Structure 1
Amino acid sequence: MLIYNFNKIISFHNLCGNYLNGILSSSSYNESMEGGIMKDYREKKYLEMLAEDEYIASEDIALRLDISGRTVRNELKELNKILETQGAKIISKPKFGYSIIVEDRLLYNEYMSNIKKVKHNNIPRTSKERVDFLMGYLLQLHSYVKIEDLCDMLYISKTSLSQDLRQVREQLDEYNLTLTSKPNYGIKVEGSEFNLRLCMANYAIDNEEVLQSDQLKCNRVECLKEIANILTSAFNTNNYSISDTAFQNLIIHIYTALRRVQDNNYVPMNEYLVSFIKEKDLNLAEEIIKKLEMAFHIDIPNNEIFYIAIHLAAKETIYQNKDNENIVIKDDINNIVTEMFKEVKETYKVDFFDDLELRMSLALHLIPFQVRMEYSMIAHNPIIKDIKTRATLAYNISVSACNVLEKIYKKTVSDSEIGYFAMHFNLALERKNKKVRKKNIIIVCSSGKGTAKLLSYRFKEEFDKFLNKVNTTDIINLKNMDFKDIDYVMTTVPISFPIPVPILEITCFLEDSELEKIEGFFKQNNNDSLLNYLDPNLYIINVDFNTKEEVLNYMVNKIKMIKPNIPENFYDAIMERERLSPTEFGNMVALPHPYKVITEDTFISLIILNKPIIWDKKKVQMVYLMSITNKEGRDLQYLYKVTSKLFTNKKYIKDLIQNKDYNMFCSYIKEIERSI
């Protein structure tokens, strides 16, 4: 049985890093909005509109401020309590409206003088704060608002407002919404009702201001509690599974829908969109709608059943053998997973084709994902930052896999969605990591084929869990060997020429005393040190650049000087990965790499700039460029694990940026590798 109670929602909200950002707290709401900028602004507007010898109707006030008549009456009642202590009072007269009477002119004038000053601390100070405020405010407006009024409200110039509105337009564009302007009227948000709701609800997840409404006849917390209870009851009855995060998300979407319905804004449905909804989701949505109508005493049109059903289809967590039913994965879904695996194998040389568990989990995840893509719905992922920093390889693999999805759906897959796929890939990588990757070795023996075969047999018998292929050769033929798929060389004779893999000298008959040494060798070399891949000449310091393009171009040219066999398209491959998703890591670090493996060897280059640059949106001063060998299965996760531990350690990064010392870098890497 599913249990979703409101206390659980609140505690999960805390765990997810303020996922609902206080929307479940009426006190935080009152402090941030009703005691903040909008109330102060409206208080000034009320006093400008009220005259001593004239009346103004509440409907006219409501129209000018774009709020309901009920809000006007309630706020004027509160304002009157203040005025009665400041030498004045508001009076009302049926059929005429409101007026003001001043009883103590000196006291009232002092009060009005103070009102004209900026006294409260809730005015947005930074551009980001203003953009957040403008998003919430503009999404609620039913009519146009003048630029001058917004400047007056925020106490900023038209130039500053124009810059803020540019960012607002970018955010609205993600939902196919536009900020239109009309001469002598101002600006307002326009777009489909479906997209408006998506934007309002998703914005409300992090900003409570957009939940501002007095149209539902209940306290906000009570409304949200009631919606949560209705959903819990319906889900338990119908065995519908949903994650905690999606459940909270759904509450906000339904709350937003109820507000819009109460304000006579409905979602039209067309046959194409409805065709993606299953009967079970429609039946569940209908049950929820009926309970909402009873709880909130409102009439909800039938079209809203489809709207709720879409959200149910997009948010359900589907498990294998749910309700003892066989989950049948359709061919089209299975084919998509196969294409994702192909892309990952080509890009990172990591093979997931034999991982049935991953195939099933991705297929089940794709079912609601398809709905979200069809309706351009955004899945909020509260732990995306942690995924990027703590599961870097899985995230990068997911970027590659989602490239397939973008081609299929012809839409951009959001960072949050990439993060959800990364969670599945990370589990699969962990399963791979628990398995010891078997090695390919060559035994070099100069005593003849008989001795070589005997050694080969002994190695297979003693070290089977470590070995994949065991080949034999002599010292002469070793020079012409292709070491592409070879991990180690075991030799009974000294090797005087260089070869690109580790060497261990052994006796012809493999004495018992050697067995422990050889096993230790296999264990020790199961993961190569990251330092093996960093040429000191590619540890670059004391340079200045202005853009990431300049940095990467310099690094690539430097690499080509050290490694002349680098492909011509190496720089382009790195920039293609930046196009798919910028590689800024946080903590002043960027981790660029080619969008797929294209080099014969694994290598690393690191550059520490004299001063930070803006990479995409974040400041970066350390750039760690890693290219992985195109040889399959080369301890990729280990390298990413070491990398992640290094660059999430703020002390390490601070020390390296300040000192720029290569030996310090090496000591930190060794310290991390000892701890893994």
Structure 2
Amino acid sequence: MKDYREKKYLEMLAEDEYIASEDIALRLDISGRTVRNELKELNKILETQGAKIISKPKFGYSIIVEDRLLYNEYMSNIKKVKHNNIPRTSKERVDFLMGYLLQLHSYVKIEDLCDMLYISKTSLSQDLRQVREQLDEYNLTLTSKPNYGIKVEGSEFNLRLCMANYAIDNEEVLQSDQLKCNRVECLKEIANILTSAFNTNNYSISDTAFQNLIIHIYTALRRVQDNNYVPMNEYLVSFIKEKDLNLAEEIIKKLEMAFHIDIPNNEIFYIAIHLAAKETIYQNKDNENIVIKDDINNIVTEMFKEVKETYKVDFFDDLELRMSLALHLIPFQVRMEYSMIAHNPIIKDIKTRATLAYNISVSACNVLEKIYKKTVSDSEIGYFAMHFNLALERKNKKVRKKNIIIVCSSGKGTAKLLSYRFKEEFDKFLNKVNTTDIINLKNMDFKDIDYVMTTVPISFPIPVPILEITCFLEDSELEKIEGFFKQNNNDSLLNYLDPNLYIINVDFNTKEEVLNYMVNKIKMIKPNIPENFYDAIMERERLSPTEFGNMVALPHPYKVITEDTFISLIILNKPIIWDKKKVQMVYLMSITNKEGRDLQYLYKVTSKLFTNKKYIKDLIQNKDYNMFCSYIKEIERSI
């Protein structure tokens, strides 16, 4: 029995007066059976508190107080306890309203909701705005009717999806009296039925998807008991394979036996849809050939094209990633066709700990949105990001070989000898080794050069790191040079931050104002910035807001469009609402449109910085550039 219903029972029951169970059921919008069961439960409590509930045929229920002092003390404590259990924050109220409204069969008046939550109509209106936003994700609406109130409306399919996904994180939702067992017992029985059926049919499913499927089936059983069924049409059924229908039919039969209920045939299709949407498909499963159809393969190719264009990361040769994405797309297609929302419990960790993979996934899923003409949810983007993250890790293990120039003043013979020695000793680090003298070095094109090794001092500036060596490369130098290659295998993030783009002591009200200011500042420092730079950043915000958490936002263009990699950072005097979260530090990074940069390393450093609450707190309070640099160096030493 829910706390707010217990309070309502006590308000409705009166001494010397009777109230019919039908009236109680109507007021609380629950069944007569639920009223009877919950009043029995309440009576057990009251009998220990100086009172009892009595019933009289044709009259209803009343209350008799036998120990006035004990009962008054109980009622006083009840009011205190119930008051403490009332949702306090807006989030708590929105969660409560979602659970309450989804289970109503009829309208509820705004005044009753205000009384229930002890809030004003203005506060309730603000909370209901958030409720409407959440319902809209499932194509559900919160309709209102004069003199009646509000109620949730939409298709039975969408109502079930919303109820089940909400119940995953809210255990008090979907308590059942119709199924003749409590929620925990019902869920255990469903789990046993599914485990048996899956083992028999060699059906594979992840642990998270398995737990979610239990909730979806439990939701379906409750709705069936309330005579709410999912209508099926030929178009929707056409996506379901025979093996999923057979498995669903087996599960339905076992559910009917376990819960002693009749389940219509339409529910076979409903469960089959969930099976098709949640199955984990492996290569060579059950010695059965998994055929990737051309349409799926073409979608993966388009995803790779989009990623290469937007991030200059090439996955075309990664067959393992291609197969993983293709297999993932098979159940994903089912979810998109039925507008099913996948629940991803680790999406927050993916965003913060695999930031580059998540951003790449946003880009790749842009292709899917165009194909299916539907928005891909954040949870789905996160699942794709897991595949891209593994691919990035594989790439990261392959050290990108460097191009170097050897500067030698002792003639071509010595230069060739040094070149040969470098190739022999450091082959795993090197791609191209060129030689020149100090005079010609000034005219060299450093576009594809990583380092310069020189036997003579270089007195003029060049845009790459320099290491001085001896003419004959002594054995004692080999360890130093190898350490240099290892140390410089990743560029320091500080190389990309111009102190003039470290902005503090400013105030803005919106993210648009912040980004517009930053872009204008960048254009003053870097005149070759494309005209559409601001628009490219806002396009990325449209695809998925870049608020990171921890008071930080990480905006960037939706694709690589600048010639150089650079960073700009702004620390506001006071936080603003970015999309839904508060942000006070904005870290704008633009990646070069040239291939070969180690993005994974830059994002790893970025992630470690902005997930560290102490670092962010210190930087927001002090706004000190040198402090920022010291934290970056500390992180890079630890990687």
Q: Place the TM-score, normalised by the shorter chain, in its bin.
A: over 0.9
Q: How big is each residue's C-alpha offset from its partner over 1:48-95, in whole Å with a ceiling of 9 and x where there is no partner?
A: 555666654323322232111111112233444555677765432334
Q: Following the alignment from structure 2 to structure 1, what is the Cα–Cα distance between the partners of residues 205 and 70?
A: 59
- Farther off after superposition, 611-620 or 448-457: 448-457
Q: Is the 8 A contact 1:260 1:266 kept in 2?
A: yes
Deviation of the 1:301 alpha carbon: 0.7
8 Å CA contact retained: 1:151, 1:161: yes
1:349 pairs with 2:306: no
1:144-175 residue CA offsets vs partner (Å, 9 max, x unmatched): 11111111111111111111111111110000
Q: Does residue 1:538 correspond to 2:501, yes or no?
A: yes
- Secondary structure of the 2:503 match is strand
In the alignment, the residues of structure 2 paired with residue 162 and residue 232 of structure 1 have an alpha-carbon distance, to the nearest angstrom, of: 44
Distance 1:383 1:110 in 2: 46
Q: Displacement of 1:230 after TM fit? A: 0.4
Query: How far has the Cα of 1:251 moved from its partner?
Result: 0.5
Rounded Cα–Cα distance in structure 1 between residues aligned with 2:311 and 2:332? 24
Between 475-484 and 252-261, the greater mean CA deviation after superposition: 475-484
Q: Is the 8 A contact 2:3 2:82 kept in 1?
A: no
Q: Are positions 1:142 and 2:105 aligned together?
A: yes
Cα pair 1:139 1:210 within 8 Å, conserved: no
Q: CA deviation at 1:376?
A: 0.9
- Alpha-carbon displacement from aligned partner over 1:572-623 (angstroms, at most 9, x marks no partner): 2111111111111111111111111111111112222222222111111211
Whole-Å separation in 1 of the counterparts to 2:400 and 2:349: 28
Match among 113, 118, 127 for residue 76 of structure 2 = 113
For residues 553 and 228 of structure 1, do their structure 2 counterparts lie closer, same or farther at Cα, with a shift above 3 Å needed? same
Give the direction of change, closer, same or farther, for the CA distance of 1:469–1:335 in structure 2 (3 Å limit): farther
What RMSD, in angstroms, separates the aligned Cα atoms of the two structures?
2.6
Compared CA separation, residues 263 and 387, structure 1 to 2 (3 A): same
- Closer, same or farther: CA 110–488 of 1 in aligned 2, 3 Å: closer
Q: Once the 2 structures are TM-superposed, how far is the Cα of residue 492 of structure 1 from its aligned partner?
A: 5.2
- Return the alpha-carbon distance in structure 2 between the equivalents of residues 508 and 111 of structure 1: 94
1:514 CA displacement: 4.6
Query: 565-574 or 84-93: which moved more?
Result: 84-93
Q: Secondary structure at the match of 2:341?
A: coil
Deviation at 1:420, TM superposition (A): 1.0
Question: Which secondary structure does the structure 1 equivalent of 2:85 belong to?
Answer: coil
* Structure 2 residue aligned with 1:3: none
Give the stretch that moved more between structures: 462-471 or 414-423: 462-471
- TM value normalised by structure 2: 0.94
More displaced 10-residue stretch of structure 1: 545-554 or 390-399: 545-554
Residue 485 of structure 1 and its aligned partner are, at CA, apart by 2.3
Partner Cα separation in structure 1 for residue 381 and residue 100 of structure 2? 30
Q: 1:319 aligns with which of 271, 282, 295?
A: 282
Structure 1 window deviating more from structure 2 (119-128 vs 201-210): it is 119-128
| Post-superposition offset of 1:447 | 6.8
Alignment partner, residue 197 of structure 2 = 234
Mapped partners of 2:70, 2:331: distance in 1: 63
Contact 1:485 1:631 survives alignment (8 Å): no
After superposition, the C-alpha distances for 1:188-208 in whole angstroms (9 at most, x for unaligned) are 100000000000000001112
- What is the rounded CA distance, in whole Å, between the counterparts of 1:634 and 1:303 in structure 2? 54
Q: Which has the larger displacement, 258-267 or 329-338?
A: 329-338
Q: 1:383-419 deviations in whole A, cap 9, x for unaligned?
A: 1111111111111111111111111111111111111
What is the distance in 2 between the residues matched to 1:652 and 1:490? 37
Structure 2 CA distance, aligned partners of 1:108 and 1:590?
55
Q: 1:320 is paired with a residue of what secondary structure?
A: coil
CA contact (8 A) 2:4 2:82 kept: no
Aligned partners of 1:503, 1:114: CA distance in 2, in Å?
Answer: 77
Report the CA distance between 1:213 and its aligned residue.
2.3
**Cα shift readout 1:450-470 (whole Å, capped 9, x = no counterpart):** 665555444333322112233
> Please, which moves more after superposition, 546-555 or 250-259?
546-555
Distance change >3 Å, CA 153–CA 459, structure 1 → 2: same
Q: CA deviation at 1:333?
A: 1.1
Out of 520, 527, 531, the position equivalent to 1:568 is: 531
Instruction: Check 1:43–1:433 CA distance in 2 against 1; reply closer, same or farther (3 A cut).
Output: closer
Gaps of 5+ in 2: none
Moved more, 423-432 or 438-447: 438-447
Structure 1 length as normaliser, TM-score?
A: 0.89
Listed one character per residue, the Cα deviations across residues 303-325 of structure 1 (whole Å, up to 9, x for unaligned) are 11111111111111111111122
Structure 2 distance, partners of 1:89, 1:614, is 53
Contact 1:344/1:351 (CA < 8 Å) preserved in 2? yes
Distance 1:87-1:512 versus aligned 2 partners, 3 A rule = closer
Change (3 A) 1:562 1:235: same
Q: Is the 2:350–2:358 contact (alpha carbons within 8 Å) kept by the matching residues of 1?
A: yes
- The answer on whether the counterparts of 1:466 and 1:522 sit within 8 Å (CA) in structure 2 is yes
Does the 8 Å CA contact 2:176/2:182 hold for their aligned counterparts? Answer: no
Q: Give distance in 1, aligned partners of 2:142 and 2:503.
A: 46
Q: Distance in 2 between matches of 1:275 and 1:453?
A: 70
Corresponding residue to 2:335 among 361, 372, 376: 372
Contact 1:593-1:625 within 8 A present in 2 as well: yes
CA contact (8 A) 1:267 1:303 kept: yes
Pair 1:41–1:660, CA change in 2 (3 A): closer
Residue matched to 1:411: 374
Hey, what's the Cα distance between the residues in 1 that align with 2:46 and 2:359?
61
Secondary structure of the equivalent of 1:468? strand
Kept in 1: contact 2:175–2:182 (CA 8 A): no
Q: Please say which of residues 519-528 and 493-502 is displaced more in the overlay.
A: 493-502
8 Å CA contact 2:21, 2:32 repeated in 1: yes
Displacement of 1:513: 5.2
CA distance change for structure 1 residues 105 and 352 in 2, over 3 Å: closer, same or farther?
closer
SS at structure 1 position matched to 2:2: helix
Is contact 2:7–2:82 with CA below 8 Å preserved after alignment? no
Shift, 1:104, TM fit: 7.8
Higher relative contact order (CA 8 A, sep 6+): 1
Q: 1:451 to 1:244 in 2, by over 3 A?
A: same
Superposed counterparts of 1:9-24, under 5 Å: none
CA contact (8 A) 1:250 1:311 kept: yes
Q: Which moved more, 1:419-428 or 1:249-258?
A: 419-428
> Could you say which residue in structure 1 is the equivalent of 2:444?
481
Is the 1:608–1:621 contact (alpha carbons within 8 Å) kept by the matching residues of 2?
Answer: yes
Structure 1 stretch displaced more, 444-453 or 589-598: 444-453
Match of 1:592 among 543, 555, 580: 555
Distance 1:583 1:346 in 2: 20
Distance 1:534 1:108, change over 3 A: closer
Shift of 1:382: 0.9
Which SS does the other structure have where 1:613 is aligned? strand
* Superimposed CA distance per residue, residues 242-261 of structure 1 (whole angstroms, 9 cap, x where no aligned partner): 11111110110000000001
Question: Are the structure 2 counterparts of residues 232 and 105 from structure 1 closer, same or farther at C-alpha, using a change threshold of 3 Å?
Answer: closer
Relative distance call for 1:308 and 1:465 in structure 2 (3 A) is same
Q: Which has the higher mean CA deviation after the structures are superposed, 101-110 or 73-82? A: 101-110
Distance in structure 2 (CA, Å) of the matches to 1:107 and 1:464: 88
Going from structure 1 to structure 2, the CA distance change for 1:53 and 1:523 (only over 3 Å counts) comes to closer
Between 119-128 and 296-305, the greater mean CA deviation after superposition: 119-128
633-642 or 509-518, which deviates more: 509-518
Q: Deviations over 1:275-308 (max 9, x none)?
A: 1111111111111111000000001111111111
2:13 touches 2:61 (CA, 8 Å); kept in 1?
yes
Give yes or no for the alignment of 1:189 onto 2:124. no
Distance 1:183 1:263 in 2: 26
Distance apart, 1:226 and its partner CA? 0.3
Q: Secondary structure at the match of 2:253?
A: helix
* Equivalent-residue separation in structure 2 for 1:300 and 1:101 (angstroms): 43
**8 Å CA contact retained: 2:303, 2:367:** yes
Question: C-alpha deviations, 1:417-476, integer Å up to 9, x for none?
Answer: 111111111111111111111112334557776665555444333322112233455556
